Structure 1
Amino acid sequence: MQLRISWPAGNLTATVAEDTPTARALTKALPLTSTAHTWGKEVYFDTGVSVSRETDAREVVDPGTVAFWTDGDALALPYGPTPISRGTECRLASPCNVLGSVDGDAGVLATVRDGDPIRVELIDE
């Protein structure tokens, strides 16, 4: 399944798995609009969706990973180091459910500003 994530200065698409409890819960909530927050080179925002941490949740992920932060009911989109990273890794605040990845260069997320409105919608296939 593909998502479009947009904010005032840009947008991106992401491919996510359809067969996880988190993905199914998120899909039911789309489209959604939220307020972006930045934390180092990570953008995250509330989804209004509450799910449990899955058994394969990870704290260190690749840049461009689409992750669901269960502790904050938020999507987390890391594109580089966060304040708790070691070196150049993308370390999330706590283990997150991995949903998929950004299509193309996740560096475009650097144009998201704290407080920007952000919208997530399903792309019709």
Structure 2
Amino acid sequence: MEKPDMIIEVGNARWEVALYENPSARALRAALPQTISMDRWGDEFYGRLPARLPDHDEQRDLYEIGEVAFWQPGNAFCIFFGPTPASHGNEPRMASPGVPLGKIVKGDPLMFKNLGLSIGKVSLLPAHEGC
């Protein structure tokens, strides 16, 4: 299993995320901890980050279930757990390309399906604080 860099906490539920090696992921890691609110778009949660991340990294619109990403137009942190309204099938897809940040390595990303249409408090924590 990849070493987690970040913990996503929603109430008593937690997911461990291994962040990718790119400037955006490093900037997010350096900005932890953060607490954000998130809304749902299909099977994606997204929430506005307090500070901007670099967005000059490689971008794509197609993701895997369990990946997390940065969407520059909304300055949003995104969690993918299934298809979105932009999908052409069952794949998670952003409305426009974003920067891949990492992947959930512990915890079932499909559990996000049970969280309703919005989440009032999502904690993004450094992994060493949550372990």
TM-score if structure 1 supplies the norm length?
0.88
Unmatched runs of 5 consecutive residues or more in structure 1: none
Query: What is residue 10 of structure 1 aligned with on the other side?
Result: 13
RMSD (Å) for aligned C-alpha atoms = 1.8
One-letter code aligned to 1:74 = A
Contact in 2 for aligned 1:79/1:109 (Cα 8 Å): yes
Write 1 or 2 for the structure with the bigger share of helix.
2
In the alignment of these two chains, the number of paired residues is: 124
Inter-partner Cα distance in structure 1 for 2:126 and 2:114: 22
Q: 4+ residue stretches of structure 1 with deviation over 3 A? A: none
Inter-partner Cα distance in structure 2 for 1:110 and 1:116: 15
- Find the residue that maps to 1:71 and give its secondary structure: helix
Inter-partner Cα distance in structure 2 for 1:6 and 1:112: 12
Unmatched runs of 5 consecutive residues or more in structure 2: none
Inter-partner Cα distance in structure 2 for 1:87 and 1:46: 26
Query: What is residue 58 of structure 1 aligned with on the other side?
Result: 60
Greater mean deviation of Cα atoms: 67-76 or 6-15: 6-15
2:125 to 83, 103, 121: 121
1:106 to 97, 106, 109: 109
- Find the residue that maps to 2:6 and give its secondary structure: strand
